[in-house]
Structure 1
Amino acid sequence: MTTFTAAVAGASGYAGGEVLRLLSNHPNIQIGAVTAASSAGSRLGEHQPHLVGLADRIIEPTDASTLGGHDIVFLGLPHGESGKVAAALGDDVVVIDCGADHRLESAEDWVAFYGTEHAGTWPYGLPELVVDGARQRDQLEGVRRIAVPGCNVTAVTLGLQPAVEAGIIETTDLVAVLANGYSGAGKAAKPHLLASEALGSAVPYAVGGSHRHVPEIGQNLRKAGADEVTISFTPTLVPMARGILATSTARLRPGVDAARVREVYEAAYGQEPFVRLLPEGQWPTTAATLGSNTAHVQVTVDAAVGRLVAVSAIDNLVKGTAGGAVQSMNIALGLPETTGLPTDGVAP
């Protein structure tokens, strides 16, 4: 069995910790350096006590000398930090960016939504993404750089792209409203993330088109076949640690009925190992995806208003981040796509 060494930068954060959890059970991966910034010098177990087998590892500084020499490097760093770290690593290393630095193809969009210089565009790590009638997994084979999608982007894209590809909806009239777990906001201590503020409360954020995932959703749906994309996107923090429930709607094209919609989604996801189209009448829940790399999707038609309604649920830390990263890594390394990744959730 071929074994690869992997380093994880940002190991004390939520994304880095989830990458380590998945790699710990991956038969082809040997975990090497674990690195971070302010937590360097401390034990990993102080920050990730659930990672029992790695608890005594000492966190090292995040620099090229520490990360170099590995076959794979995962970057779970704050937005704007991955580009300069990746630039110091050689082309012989597979670098997987779990942050936003290399997702967008448009430098103009990057500057508008992130406000810094664009670090460049890498192959996009959403294997199920529709690209000109094919799938993005075909473009990940053998690559040395991978940009992992935003977690909200994954949920909305998987919910809408079959309808976009089939041409059964108007892509200039899209609405997506999401319920989001707090882990998506990261570990930074901020007043609005305190339990005393969050428990028993739901609060929208980045309202009115200001969320940084908006241009990335448009980028994906254009690849799936949309000429133009206009989307109203509103995420809402709800009192749960993990999960995204995305309800996305679109105006149906004339003559499209519920039976046709169902056929489109069955054809799109019938063979996908990590996307489950639920039986008719059963709706996705975030609890059912907890800890898994599986997205649950359901679709119906609101005939009274002529709109498609697609609901998708994912674990934002697995399918939305670390699981998508490992899935893409498997493809890049020539391993079976499903290796080391859980399809079943944890319940209750």
Structure 2
Amino acid sequence: MAHRLGIVGASGYGGAELLRLAATHPAFEVAVVAAHSQAGTPIVDLFPNLAGTRVFDAIEVGALAECDVVVLATPHDVALELGAELFDAGVRVVDLSAAFRLSVDGFATWYGGTHDRPDLATGDAAADPAAVYGLPELGHREAVRGATLVANPGCYPTATLLGLAPLAGLLQPGTIVVDAKSGTSGAGRAAKDTLHFSHVHGDLSAYGAPGHRHTGEIERWLPGDLGAVSFTPHLVPMARGLLATCYATLADGVDAAAVQDALTTAYADEPFVHVLAPGRFPHTKALAGSNGCQLSAVVDGRTGRVTVTSAIDNLGKGAAGQALQNANLMLGIEETAGLTTVGVYP
């Protein structure tokens, strides 16, 4: 029997990617495809790859409450209200926004608002154990299996945390610098002057430094006490893909072999994370359309620093793919169902 999947915010890129992946998922039936402003609009009018006669549904809590799991692909203010309402009704929820990723104080610091549900702020130790941060590869897998609400990690934090977390005990605190670049789909589907083709084509620009919101998420979920992180994102002229280049000073006595061993050991049994040999570097195109992550690390003996590169599809492992990975775990489905690490190449 198929599990009923609801998607809210289905008219955005993350929601559309969920629909694409769900179309071939062996255990999901898409029961609700909700979008506020696009309700009643044929889906194919916005996304020609999703051919058919189906239209976007209105957002109705009653219909969503009948789903086995609901994925929210909405702004965080909408998710905070709707996610809490569905949680209270006992509905399993995976949220793609930042509504539940941080502590109450962290949310106020990085998003400038009051968090009305401290029990669902997964960054607080006192949060309800049924509400969890969901990066399975970072030791959250079992918590996700028993969760009612999962805060799906952001795209930049996913790539950064996967690259740095296994090395936490090998790094000097306060030395981490992250230089990350994402395709334009990470900025959403809304028409913006800065995203016009004529503006982004042939262009590369930084934004959000030094206080990009994802900085707080990276600092909160890195293991140990590694101090403040310097994080700068960049917009690159491609539709999808994300590459994070992370630099840090190694602790005394740590060499390249220890770094490589830490990464390969951490991900030896992980289906979606591939550690490359030193000297080989990840390519975003190799992961397009997949839920995979490729990592590599090189050590500069001259400076005592490590460079870790991490590539994902920002709409895959950075959003919709990871949401389905978490939904699979929540429902007791094989974790890899409907997902792949194999990208569309060339």
Which range, TM-score by smaller chain?
A: over 0.9
CA distance in 2, matches of 1:270, 1:281: 19
SS in 2 for 1:179: strand
* Aligned-partner SS, 1:12: coil
SS of match in other structure, 1:31: strand
Which deviates further from its counterpart, 195-204 or 137-146? 137-146
Q: In structure 2, what is the Cα distance between the partners aligned to 1:108 and 1:171?
A: 22
2:136 maps to which of 127, 144, 163: 127
1:37-65 CA deviation, whole Å, 9 max, x = no partner? 1111111111122112xx31121212313
1:229, 1:56 → 2: CA distance? 52
Distance 1:136 1:9 in 2: 24
For 1:236-255, list aligned pairs within 5 A: 236-255=234-253
Distance 1:249 1:325 in 2: 28
What residue number does 1:132 align with? none
CA distance in 2: counterparts of 1:170 and 1:293, whole angstroms:
31
Amino acid at match of 2:77: G
Q: Which residue of 2 aligns with 1:217?
A: 218
Give the aligned partner of residue 183 of structure 2. Answer: 181
Query: For residue 303 of structure 2, what is the aligned residue in structure 1?
Result: 305
TM-score normalized by the length of structure 1: 0.93
1:1-348 to 2 correspondence within 5 Å? 2-52=1-51, 55-89=52-86, 90-104=88-102, 106-118=103-115, 119=117, 120-121=120-121, 122-129=131-138, 135-164=139-168, 167-208=169-210, 210-221=211-222, 224=223, 226-348=224-346
User: For the Cα contact (< 8 Å) 1:158–1:312, is it kept in 2?
Assistant: yes
Question: In the TM superposition, what is the alpha-carbon distance from 1:200 to its structure 2 partner?
Answer: 0.4
- 1:292–1:345 Cα contact (<8 Å) kept: yes
Q: Does the CA-based 8 Å contact 1:248-1:309 persist in structure 2?
A: yes
Q: How far apart in 2 are the matches of 1:48 and 1:71? A: 25
Deviations 1:259-297 (A, max 9, x none): 111111111111110000012321101011101111000
Whether contact under 8 Å (1:142, 1:334) holds in the other structure is: no
C-alpha displacement at 1:24, in angstroms?
Answer: 1.1
Taking the aligned partners of 1:228 and 1:207, their CA distance within structure 2 comes to 20
Residue 84 of structure 1: SS of its match in structure 2?
helix
Contact 1:63 1:85 in 2 (8 A): no
- What is the distance in 1 between the residues matched to 2:134 and 2:320? 11
**Structure-2 separation of matches of 1:286 and 1:40:** 34
- The alignment partner of 1:60 has SS state of coil
Structure 1 Cα separation of the partners of residues 71 and 202 of structure 2: 35
Structure 1 residue 181 displacement after superposition: 0.5
CA distance in 2, matches of 1:61, 1:201: 38
Q: Are the aligned partners of 2:274 and 2:293 in contact in 1 as well (CA < 8 Å)?
A: yes
Matches of 2:101 and 2:297, distance apart in 1: 27
Please tell me whether the aligned partners of residues 144 and 326 of structure 2 are also in contact (alpha carbons under 8 angstroms): yes
- How far has the Cα of 1:79 moved from its partner? 2.1
**Are the structure 2 counterparts of residues 332 and 160 from structure 1 closer, same or farther at C-alpha, using a change threshold of 3 Å?**
same
Conserved 8 A contact 1:249-1:307: yes
Measure the CA separation in 1 of the matches of 2:182 and 2:83: 29
8 A Cα contact 1:60 1:66, kept in partner: no
1:34 deviation in Å?
A: 0.7
C-alpha contact (below 8 Å) 2:291/2:317 kept by paired residues: yes
* TM-score normalised to structure 2 length: 0.94
CA contact (8 A) 2:293 2:341 kept: no
**CA RMSD in angstroms, aligned pairs only:** 1.2
Which shows bigger deviation, 56-65 or 26-35? Answer: 56-65
- Superposition deviation, residue 244 in structure 1: 0.7
TM-fit CA distance, 1:190: 1.0
Number of residues paired by the alignment? Answer: 333
**Amino acid across the alignment from 1:194:** H
Percent identical: 42
How many Å separate the matches in 1 of 2:151 and 2:291?
17
